[in-house]
Structure 1
Amino acid sequence: MQTILYARVSTADQTSTHQRKQAEAAGFKIDHVVIDEGVSGISTTLAERPQGRRLFDMLRAGDVLVVRWVDRLGRNYADVTETIRELIRRGVVVRTVINAMTFDGATTDPVQQAVRDALIGFMAATAQAQAEATKEAQRAGIAHAKAQADATAYRGRKPSYSRDQFKIVRDQLSQGVAVAAIAKATGLTRQVVYRISADPAEAEAALARWAA
């Protein structure tokens, strides 16, 4: 039996190194790490990704697949639910770092199976909803910035956060991570995290105005 961490890294997400540190801090002893770099979880299914295919080949019955959260498997509801169910059918245990969820085929009780499957569906739907909300916030921020695009327009105070920090804050807020934890992880003050949380579209627009 082996424990494999699967890390998907896109331009808006954490690094694979950080994902491994999170998993190990949560008590997982990782035997192997499989990483897909710069791959969208919305448009590309796990089975279509180069390392996703390798992951399916590696996993055997009794193995444990660790992911930071189900959104690492994908951001599409149908894809994520089918992926997790296929892994369960193969005898693989799927565990998440965030929320410490476990999905497996251990139970034969139909009620418990129904609860498990409902939870899989809920988490997959949440991952897709978060992806769509992120895209909408980006569109709103870009539109707001374009409306203020006059070269002589007042740009306001320069943001005290970088684009990478903003993306991490936005991603972790959508997952319900506490403000204090986000501030510690990004090096920002809690006040800055609160400002981004209160108006993510304006926070995105501020970066665009300063070409940050």
Structure 2
Amino acid sequence: MAEYGYIRVSSRDQNEERQLIAMRELKIPGTHIFTDKQSGKDFDRPQYRRLVRRLKKDDILYIKSIDRLGRNYKEILEQWRVLTKEREVDIVVLDMPLLDTRRGKDLMGTFLSDIVLQVLSFVVENERANIRQRQAEGIAAAKARGVRFGRPPRPLPENFREVHRQWRNKKITLRQAAEACGMPEGTFYAKAAKFEDTTQ
């Protein structure tokens, strides 16, 4: 029997230290701790795949919380089934003592563990959906207030007014006007239309 730890953070900017401390307190060797720095939307993660290949029957896998395993309800349940039923590995979720497959190996223990897992997995995915909805609502509200997203528009070059006048009077072509202002033709045309709107 060997003990392993799995750590996941959503991006390279997030810190895995809290999860790492929990694994060290369990005296899990560094070579048995696998860390992925990517989204939990699916299980196509290189370190997780390496970990699963190493797990043997009766090994123990520790994770800090169920959302570190993943965020997709169906896939969490499927991975849990693969690990506990097919690979016959025990899983311990440190933040949720009820999710410890070493306890209650009888039918009732397994039943309770499965119910808790299904409820928690649903809560994780539901919260993810709620976060996406709140983000969309926040963006819509900000746009309604006039908040602009993306890079601010670059100021017009100093010669734009004069070049625009020459182009409008057909003294130069669109290509010549765009080159004179150091921008693509499409950009010059769009900026010319906006410029005309503001000067009328």
Where structure 1 has 5 or more consecutive residues not aligned to the other structure, the ranges are 152-212
CA contact (8 A) 2:7 2:33 kept: yes
Alignment of 1:41-120 (within 5 A): 41-42=40-41, 44=42, 46=43, 48-89=44-85, 90-104=87-101, 107-120=104-117
Question: Of the candidates 113, 136, 139, which is equivalent to residue 139 of structure 1?
Answer: 136
The residue matched to 2:7 in structure 1 has which SS? Answer: strand
Per-residue deviation, 1:81: 1.0
Give the distance between the partners of 2:90 and 2:22, measured in 1 at CA: 19
One-letter amino acid of the counterpart of residue 84, structure 2? I
Q: Percent identity?
A: 30
TM-score, normalisation: structure 2: 0.63
Q: Relative contact order (C-alpha < 8 Å, sep 6+): which is higher?
A: 1
How many matched pairs? Answer: 145
Flag the 1:110–1:145 CA change in 2: closer, same or farther, 3 A: same
The residue matched to 2:96 in structure 1 has which SS? Answer: helix
Is it true that 1:130 corresponds to 2:123 in the alignment? no
Larger Rg: 2
Give the distance between the partners of 1:116 and 1:82, measured in 2 at CA: 14
Per-residue deviation, 1:104: 2.0
CA contact (8 A) 1:7 1:36 kept: yes
CA contact (8 A) 1:23 1:97 kept: no
Where does residue 34 of structure 1 map in the other structure?
34
TM-score, normalisation: structure 1: 0.60
Flag the 1:16–1:101 CA change in 2: closer, same or farther, 3 A: farther
How far does the alpha carbon of each residue in 1:60-116 deviate from its partner, in whole angstroms, 9 at most, with x for none?
Answer: 122221112111111111110111122112221111222334432664533332222
Give the distance between the partners of 1:63 and 1:117, measured in 2 at CA: 19
Flag the 1:103–1:85 CA change in 2: closer, same or farther, 3 A: farther
Where structure 2 has 5 or more consecutive residues not aligned to the other structure, the ranges are 149-200
CA contact (8 A) 1:69 1:96 kept: yes
Runs of 4+ in structure 1 over 4 Å off: 105-108
The residue matched to 1:125 in structure 2 has which SS? Answer: helix
CA contact (8 A) 2:103 2:109 kept: no
